[in-house]
Chains A and B, each alone.
Chain A
Amino acid sequence: NAGVMQNPRHLVRRRGQEARLRCSPMKGHSHVYWYRQLPEEGLKFMVYLQKENIIDESGMPKERFSAEFPKEGPSILRIQQVVRGDSAAYFCASSPGSGGVSDTQYFGPGTRLTVL
Protein backbone atom coordinates (compact mmCIF):
# COMPACT_ATOMS: atom_id res chain seq x y z
CA ASN A 1 0.00 0.00 0.00
CA ALA A 2 1.77 3.10 -1.24
CA GLY A 3 1.99 6.06 1.07
CA VAL A 4 1.20 9.65 0.30
CA MET A 5 2.95 10.68 -2.89
CA GLN A 6 4.05 14.18 -3.78
CA ASN A 7 5.66 15.52 -6.89
CA PRO A 8 7.85 17.08 -7.81
CA ARG A 9 10.16 16.54 -4.86
CA HIS A 10 12.13 19.65 -5.74
CA LEU A 11 10.91 22.63 -7.72
CA VAL A 12 12.83 25.72 -8.74
CA ARG A 13 10.99 28.76 -10.01
CA ARG A 14 11.95 32.32 -10.82
CA ARG A 15 10.04 35.19 -9.26
CA GLY A 16 6.75 35.75 -11.04
CA GLN A 17 6.38 32.20 -12.32
CA GLU A 18 3.74 29.70 -11.27
CA ALA A 19 4.33 26.66 -9.08
CA ARG A 20 2.12 23.58 -9.15
CA LEU A 21 2.52 20.99 -6.43
CA ARG A 22 0.77 17.63 -6.63
CA CYS A 23 -0.35 15.25 -3.93
CA SER A 24 -1.81 11.77 -4.29
CA PRO A 25 -3.29 10.58 -0.98
CA MET A 26 -2.96 7.09 0.40
CA LYS A 27 -5.31 4.55 -1.14
CA GLY A 28 -8.71 4.80 0.47
CA HIS A 29 -8.09 8.28 1.90
CA SER A 30 -10.48 11.00 0.87
CA HIS A 31 -9.17 13.89 2.97
CA VAL A 32 -6.11 15.95 2.08
CA TYR A 33 -4.31 18.63 4.07
CA TRP A 34 -1.54 20.95 2.90
CA TYR A 35 1.07 22.34 5.29
CA ARG A 36 4.04 24.66 4.76
CA GLN A 37 7.33 24.36 6.62
CA LEU A 38 9.78 27.22 6.69
CA PRO A 39 13.43 26.54 7.69
CA GLU A 40 13.78 25.83 11.42
CA GLU A 41 10.03 26.12 11.88
CA GLY A 42 7.18 23.75 12.51
CA LEU A 43 4.55 22.95 9.96
CA LYS A 44 1.81 25.50 9.41
CA PHE A 45 -1.61 24.44 8.18
CA MET A 46 -2.73 25.91 4.88
CA VAL A 47 -5.82 24.14 3.55
CA TYR A 48 -7.99 21.07 4.07
CA LEU A 49 -9.87 19.48 1.20
CA GLN A 50 -12.15 16.59 0.47
CA LYS A 51 -12.94 15.41 -3.02
CA GLU A 52 -14.19 18.42 -4.98
CA ASN A 53 -14.60 20.53 -1.82
CA ILE A 54 -12.48 22.95 0.15
CA ILE A 55 -13.37 22.40 3.79
CA ASP A 56 -11.02 24.84 5.53
CA GLU A 57 -8.67 27.31 3.88
CA SER A 58 -8.09 29.50 6.91
CA GLY A 59 -4.31 29.05 6.74
CA MET A 60 -3.87 29.86 3.09
CA PRO A 61 -2.83 33.35 1.94
CA LYS A 62 -5.74 35.13 0.30
CA GLU A 63 -3.80 36.04 -2.82
CA ARG A 64 -1.79 33.94 -5.27
CA PHE A 65 -2.51 30.61 -3.54
CA SER A 66 -5.21 28.16 -4.52
CA ALA A 67 -5.89 24.46 -3.99
CA GLU A 68 -8.12 21.83 -5.48
CA PHE A 69 -8.86 18.14 -5.08
CA PRO A 70 -10.78 17.02 -8.15
CA LYS A 71 -12.96 13.95 -8.37
CA GLU A 72 -10.25 12.25 -10.38
CA GLY A 73 -6.54 12.82 -9.98
CA PRO A 74 -4.27 14.33 -7.37
CA SER A 75 -4.76 17.36 -5.19
CA ILE A 76 -3.02 20.44 -6.56
CA LEU A 77 -1.58 23.38 -4.63
CA ARG A 78 -1.03 26.25 -7.00
CA ILE A 79 1.06 29.32 -6.29
CA GLN A 80 0.87 32.10 -8.83
CA GLN A 81 3.50 34.80 -9.30
CA VAL A 82 5.87 33.24 -6.78
CA VAL A 83 8.04 35.44 -4.58
CA ARG A 84 11.18 34.56 -2.63
CA GLY A 85 9.17 34.30 0.58
CA ASP A 86 7.30 31.33 -0.90
CA SER A 87 10.49 29.24 -0.70
CA ALA A 88 9.66 26.45 1.73
CA ALA A 89 8.86 22.78 2.00
CA TYR A 90 5.24 22.02 1.25
CA PHE A 91 3.81 18.86 2.76
CA CYS A 92 0.63 17.08 1.96
CA ALA A 93 -1.08 14.76 4.44
CA SER A 94 -4.04 12.46 3.98
CA SER A 95 -6.48 10.78 6.33
CA PRO A 96 -9.26 8.23 5.84
CA GLY A 97 -11.91 10.79 6.73
CA SER A 98 -14.09 8.61 8.89
CA GLY A 99 -13.27 10.61 12.02
CA GLY A 100 -12.63 9.28 15.50
CA VAL A 101 -9.57 7.10 15.78
CA SER A 102 -9.16 7.22 12.05
CA ASP A 103 -8.18 10.85 11.99
CA THR A 104 -4.47 10.13 11.84
CA GLN A 105 -2.78 12.23 9.19
CA TYR A 106 -0.08 10.56 7.12
CA PHE A 107 2.44 12.84 5.48
CA GLY A 108 4.10 12.71 2.12
CA PRO A 109 7.80 13.39 1.51
CA GLY A 110 7.17 17.02 0.63
CA THR A 111 7.98 19.34 -2.25
CA ARG A 112 10.84 21.71 -1.66
CA LEU A 113 10.18 24.93 -3.53
CA THR A 114 13.01 27.33 -4.21
CA VAL A 115 12.24 30.72 -5.72
CA LEU A 116 15.19 32.44 -7.35
Chain B
Amino acid sequence: QQQVKQSPQSLIVQKGGISIINCAYENTAFDYFPWYQQFPGKGPALLIAIRPDVSEKKEGRFTISFNKSAKQFSLHIMDSQPGDSATYFCAASNGGNTPLVFGKGTRLSVIA
Protein backbone atom coordinates (compact mmCIF):
# COMPACT_ATOMS: atom_id res chain seq x y z
CA GLN B 1 0.00 0.00 0.00
CA GLN B 2 1.52 3.24 -1.16
CA GLN B 3 1.09 5.88 1.49
CA VAL B 4 2.29 8.84 -0.58
CA LYS B 5 1.19 9.10 -4.20
CA GLN B 6 3.11 11.45 -6.46
CA SER B 7 2.26 12.73 -9.92
CA PRO B 8 3.17 13.20 -12.65
CA GLN B 9 5.86 10.59 -13.14
CA SER B 10 7.66 12.86 -15.60
CA LEU B 11 7.31 16.49 -16.58
CA ILE B 12 8.72 18.64 -19.36
CA VAL B 13 8.59 22.39 -18.88
CA GLN B 14 9.85 25.26 -20.97
CA LYS B 15 12.52 27.49 -19.48
CA GLY B 16 10.85 30.25 -17.52
CA GLY B 17 7.66 28.26 -17.00
CA ILE B 18 6.09 26.91 -13.83
CA SER B 19 6.67 23.30 -12.79
CA ILE B 20 3.97 21.76 -10.62
CA ILE B 21 4.28 18.40 -8.87
CA ASN B 22 1.52 16.97 -6.75
CA CYS B 23 1.41 14.55 -3.85
CA ALA B 24 -1.40 12.96 -1.86
CA TYR B 25 -1.11 11.09 1.41
CA GLU B 26 -3.33 8.76 3.37
CA ASN B 27 -2.00 8.75 6.90
CA THR B 28 -3.55 11.60 8.89
CA ALA B 29 -0.79 11.23 11.50
CA PHE B 30 1.74 12.67 9.07
CA ASP B 31 2.78 16.15 10.15
CA TYR B 32 6.01 16.85 8.29
CA PHE B 33 6.19 17.11 4.50
CA PRO B 34 9.58 17.68 2.85
CA TRP B 35 10.53 17.81 -0.79
CA TYR B 36 13.86 16.45 -1.95
CA GLN B 37 15.77 17.07 -5.18
CA GLN B 38 17.99 14.37 -6.59
CA PHE B 39 20.47 14.62 -9.45
CA PRO B 40 21.70 11.46 -11.21
CA GLY B 41 24.27 9.61 -9.14
CA LYS B 42 23.73 11.82 -6.10
CA GLY B 43 21.84 11.57 -2.85
CA PRO B 44 18.56 13.41 -2.26
CA ALA B 45 18.97 16.98 -1.04
CA LEU B 46 16.32 18.73 1.03
CA LEU B 47 14.69 21.49 -0.97
CA ILE B 48 11.88 22.79 1.19
CA ALA B 49 9.57 21.41 3.88
CA ILE B 50 6.21 22.30 5.43
CA ARG B 51 4.16 21.42 8.47
CA PRO B 52 0.34 21.26 8.49
CA ASP B 53 -0.10 24.44 10.53
CA VAL B 54 0.52 26.55 7.41
CA SER B 55 -1.04 26.33 3.96
CA GLU B 56 1.89 27.69 1.99
CA LYS B 57 5.63 28.12 2.32
CA LYS B 58 7.87 29.91 -0.13
CA GLU B 59 11.64 29.85 -0.45
CA GLY B 60 12.99 31.66 -3.47
CA ARG B 61 11.51 30.12 -6.60
CA PHE B 62 10.13 27.11 -4.71
CA THR B 63 6.71 27.08 -3.06
CA ILE B 64 4.86 24.31 -1.23
CA SER B 65 1.07 24.50 -1.12
CA PHE B 66 -0.61 22.33 1.51
CA ASN B 67 -4.27 21.31 1.71
CA LYS B 68 -4.85 19.47 4.97
CA SER B 69 -8.52 18.63 4.35
CA ALA B 70 -7.74 17.11 0.97
CA LYS B 71 -4.55 15.48 2.26
CA GLN B 72 -2.62 16.91 -0.65
CA PHE B 73 0.47 19.03 -1.09
CA SER B 74 2.29 20.31 -4.11
CA LEU B 75 5.59 21.84 -5.18
CA HIS B 76 5.66 24.81 -7.51
CA ILE B 77 8.89 25.84 -9.19
CA MET B 78 8.60 29.31 -10.62
CA ASP B 79 10.75 30.52 -13.52
CA SER B 80 12.01 26.98 -14.10
CA GLN B 81 15.61 26.73 -15.30
CA PRO B 82 17.54 23.96 -17.07
CA GLY B 83 19.55 23.54 -13.87
CA ASP B 84 16.32 22.49 -12.13
CA SER B 85 16.23 19.35 -14.28
CA ALA B 86 16.32 16.56 -11.70
CA THR B 87 14.09 14.04 -9.97
CA TYR B 88 11.90 15.46 -7.23
CA PHE B 89 10.53 13.40 -4.37
CA CYS B 90 7.82 14.34 -1.95
CA ALA B 91 7.87 12.67 1.45
CA ALA B 92 5.96 12.58 4.69
CA SER B 93 6.57 11.52 8.24
CA ASN B 94 5.03 11.60 11.69
CA GLY B 95 7.55 14.26 12.63
CA GLY B 96 10.25 14.09 15.26
CA ASN B 97 12.69 11.31 14.57
CA THR B 98 10.56 9.05 12.42
CA PRO B 99 11.20 7.49 9.02
CA LEU B 100 10.25 9.30 5.85
CA VAL B 101 7.71 7.78 3.45
CA PHE B 102 8.58 8.81 -0.10
CA GLY B 103 6.58 9.22 -3.26
CA LYS B 104 7.90 7.50 -6.36
CA GLY B 105 9.42 10.66 -7.78
CA THR B 106 8.91 13.04 -10.69
CA ARG B 107 11.56 13.42 -13.35
CA LEU B 108 11.58 17.07 -14.38
CA SER B 109 13.18 18.25 -17.61
CA VAL B 110 13.40 21.97 -18.24
CA ILE B 111 14.08 22.71 -21.87
CA ALA B 112 15.32 25.95 -23.37
Contact = CB atoms under 8 A, between A and B. Distances in A.
Contacts, number: 65
A106 B44 CA distance: 8
Contact of B99 (A59, A99, A106): A59
Contact of B89 (A42, A99, A104, A106): A42
B87 to A, nearest CB: 9
Given A42-B104, A44-B102, A100 B89 contact: no
B32 interface: yes
Interface residues of B, number: 24
A60 B89 CA distance: 21
Interface in A27-86: 31, 33, 35, 40-45, 48, 55-56, 59
A45 B99 contact: yes
B44 A107 contact: yes
Interface of B, helix, strand, loop or mixed by DSSP: loop
A93 B89 CA distance: 15
Contacts of A104: 34, 46, 49
Q: Which 6 A-B pairs have the closest CB atoms?
A: A42-B102, A107-B43, A45-B99, A99-B96, A42-B104, A43-B102
8 contacts: A33-B100, A40-B104, A48-B99, A91-B44, A93-B100, A104-B49, A106-B46, A108-B43
Given A91-B44, A95-B97, A103-B97, 13 more contacts: A33-B99, A41-B104, A43-B89, A45-B99, A45-B101, A91-B43, A99-B96, A103-B32, A105-B100, A106-B46, A107-B36, A107-B44, A110-B42
